Amino acid sequence: MEYWDIYDSEKRVTGRKMLRNDWHMKPGEYHLTVLALIRDAAGRILITQRKADKEWAPLKWEIPGGVRAGETSEQAVLREVAEETGLRFAPEQGRCIHTYRSDSPAEQNNYFVDIYEFRGDFAQEDVKIQEDEVEGFRLATPQEVRALGEADDFLHYKRLAHVLPEGKVW
């Protein structure tokens, strides 16, 4: 079983844990997730497609992410990127570019999301997806990600749209 830490409204760990995806959070309780905006040398973004058998958002496109209890945000994003894509980055190759908080008391699901940006010189052949979690992947331009988002086929798009680069290469 996988657990998440429970945070307070100021994003401080409370010392309590919850079963992952067990949406019975009390008011003022939050969990944390991380997302990784990974760009190649050409400025394309690595996106993955969720498995068809996922209970929530099957076959939707997304950027890699997730957190386990006991991890810091940075530890989680580095681990998730390595596990989900096979790409390994040093901490100094990435940075947290945005954090947002979502309050959804009706769903009993409140959370923080830290969005990291990583830059790398990697080829499509270097990507080794986590096949039990991911249907497939592609390197997409920011414009292609926007088109998927506007078609409601990209998770967290509304929260990510403003951090998408305008197609610039570093």
Number of CB atoms found within 10 A of residue 98's CB: 15
**pLDDT range class, residue 155, cuts 50, 70, 90:** very high
Chain centre to alpha carbon of residue 4: 15
Rounded average pLDDT over 143-167: 89
d(CA 77, CA 105): 26
Instruction: Please provide the average confidence, as pLDDT, over all residues in the chain.
Output: 91
- pLDDT attached to residue 23: 79
Segment 106-136, tens digit of pLDDT: 888 899 999 999 999 999 999 999 888 889 9
Segment 129-154, tens digit of pLDDT: 988 888 999 999 999 999 999 999 99
| CA dihedral (94, 5, 131, 83) positive or negative | positive
pTM above 0.85, yes or no: yes
Number of CB atoms found within 10 A of residue 25's CB: 19
